[in-house]
């Protein structure tokens, strides 16, 4: 089996994360011993990708246990949950994981609380590994005839606990001996495609080519690309998808060139409380990410900058959504509801 990086580990009461801000220059880990350190790691993108954020936050709750307390203090845990929920606004897996931890607090006696929270966090982590494998299998059935695919941002092992979402079918096909090449948008302004996707695919021995975001249209026009596959940070009830900024124009280009556009995400990424993508909160990030990448000033001080982390791709541009449960062709409210209900 192709082994992706171990993005998250929880050992001896410590949360250990691959510091993704340091890749590809160096592979180092960051140790979190407090809730505040976990919040900062999520906010600074040390750990990123909707599933990985949820796992890290679940373990982060455990770091709230008072070291000098005789027994667990549920109010401390609840305050930790509320604080961690403020780290990033768009990725719904963060709130899904924290809601699961809150449910444990609500139904568990004080004396058993810490152990029960640990079991739940480990369960979330293990479910994510199973999710990656299942998405890999379902997605491989759609990409089985593809020789070249295009992806945006990073939705691989670094964004989850194993194979990822959008990259899971790639790993599955590679493992089975199918030759497939990946083209990775660099993904401005933080270059997650160039720094992270290209790094982890290279580590796995999967051919990968990096292109600037503005090259995608010309590449699609050549007929080189057989399919586009991306991840998601939140999916509304009607199938509108929030993903890394630049996903929407890529979907428009894929539609124009009649190339399948697939979204891969776990069922926990759906937010059925939001009817459409216009209701999804979009994180606005710091000016410096655009104006001073890697500390180099490229925008004049008097010029304004806009820096949304995500955009919304309408459901009508999505060929299919791949989850751990299967495939939703031409997603809409009815098909999504039926899929999530297991019918």
16 and 155 assigned to the same domain: no
305 and 235 assigned to the same domain: yes
Domain count across the chain: 2
- Residue in this structure with the two tokens 């399948």, named with its chain if needed: 260
Task: Place 67 in a pLDDT band, splitting at 50, 70 and 90.
Answer: low
pLDDT value of position 3: 53
CATH number of the domain where residue 23 is located: 1.20.120.420
Whether the predicted pLDDT of 1 surpasses 70: no
- Cα–Cα distance measured from residue 115 to residue 102, given in angstroms and rounded to the nearest whole number: 14
153 and 124 assigned to the same domain: no
The answer, yes or no, to whether the previous bond of 98 is cis (omega within 30 of 0) is no
Convert the pLDDT of each residue in 248-257 to its tens digit: 999 999 999 9
Tell me the backbone φ, ψ of residue 271, rounded to 5 degrees.
-120, 90
142 and 273 assigned to the same domain: yes
SS3 state at 311: strand
269 and 307 assigned to the same domain: yes
Whether the predicted pLDDT of 217 surpasses 60: yes
Task: Place 69 in a pLDDT band, splitting at 50, 70 and 90.
Answer: low
**Which of 94, 103, 193, 211 lies closest to 152 in space, CA to CA?**
193
The answer to whether position 106 is within a domain reads yes
pLDDT value of position 294: 87
238 and 160 assigned to the same domain: yes
Q: What is the pTM of this model?
A: 0.91
Task: Place 74 in a pLDDT band, splitting at 50, 70 and 90.
Answer: confident
Whether the predicted pLDDT of 97 surpasses 90: yes
Beta strands in 206-337, from DSSP E residues, in sequence order: 208-211, 227-230, 234-236, 241-244, 261-264, 270-271, 310-313, 320-323, 326-329
Is residue 233 annotated as part of the catalytic site, yes or no? yes
Q: Catalytic residue, from 233, 240, 271, 311: name it.
A: 233
Tokens of 246: 């630049």
Task: Place 89 in a pLDDT band, splitting at 50, 70 and 90.
Answer: very high
Are β-strands 181-185 and 227-230 bridged in parallel, bridged antiparallel, or unpaired?
unpaired
Residue 39 lies in domain: 8-128
216 and 250 assigned to the same domain: yes
Beta strands in the chain, from DSSP E residues, in sequence order: 8-11, 14-18, 29-32, 148-151, 181-185, 208-211, 227-230, 234-236, 241-244, 261-264, 270-271, 310-313, 320-323, 326-329
pLDDT value of position 180: 96
- Cα–Cα distance measured from residue 42 to residue 277, given in angstroms and rounded to the nearest whole number: 23
One-character DSSP codes across 175-239: HTT---EEEEE--TTTTHIIIIIHHHHHHTT--EEEE-GGGHHHHHHTT--SEEEE--SEEETTS
Convert the pLDDT of each residue in 149-203 to its tens digit: 999 999 999 999 899 999 999 999 999 999 999 999 999 999 999 999 999 999 9
160 and 81 assigned to the same domain: no
82 and 170 assigned to the same domain: no
């Amino acid at each position: 089996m192709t082994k992706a990086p171990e993005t998250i580990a929880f050992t001896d009461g410590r949360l250990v994360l691959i510091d993704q801000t340091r890749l590809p220059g160096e592979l180092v880990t960051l140790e979190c011993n407090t809730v505040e350190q976990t919040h900062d790691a999520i906010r600074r993108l040390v750990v990123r990708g909707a599933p990985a954020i949820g796992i890290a936050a679940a373990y982060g709750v455990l770091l709230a246990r008072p070291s000098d307390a005789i027994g667990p203090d549920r109010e401390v845990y609840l305050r930790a949950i509320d604080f961690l929920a403020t780290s990033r606004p768009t990725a719904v897996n963060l709130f899904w994981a924290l809601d699961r931890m809150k449910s444990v607090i609500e139904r568990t006696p004080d004396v058993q609380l810490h152990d029960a929270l640990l079991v739940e966090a480990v369960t979330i982590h293990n479910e994510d590994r199973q999710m990656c494998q299942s998405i890999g299998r379902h997605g491989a059935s759609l990409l089985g005839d593809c020789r070249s695919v295009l992806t945006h941002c990073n939705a691989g092992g670094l964004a989850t606990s194993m194979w990822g979402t959008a990259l899971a079918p790639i790993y599955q096909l590679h493992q089975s001996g199918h030759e497939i090449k990946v083209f990775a948008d660099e993904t401005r302004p933080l270059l997650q495609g160039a720094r992270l996707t290209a790094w982890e695919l290279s580590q796995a021995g999967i051919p990968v080519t990096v292109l600037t975001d503005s090259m995608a249209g010309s590449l699609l026009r050549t007929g080189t690309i057989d399919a586009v596959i991306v991840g998601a940070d939140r999916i509304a009830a009607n199938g509108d998808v929030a993903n890394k900024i630049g996903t929407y124009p890529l979907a428009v280009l894929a539609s124009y060139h009649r190339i399948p556009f697939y979204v891969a995400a776990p069922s926990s990424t759906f937010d059925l409380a939001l009817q459409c993508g216009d209701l999804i909160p979009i994180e606005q990030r710091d000016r410096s990410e655009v104006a001073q990448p890697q500390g180099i000033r490229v925008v004049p001080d008097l010029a304004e900058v806009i820096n949304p982390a995500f955009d919304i791709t309408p459901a009508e541009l999505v060929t299919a959504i791949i989850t751990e449960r299967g495939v939703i062709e031409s997603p809409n409210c009815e098909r999504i509801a039926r899929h999530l209900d297991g019918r």
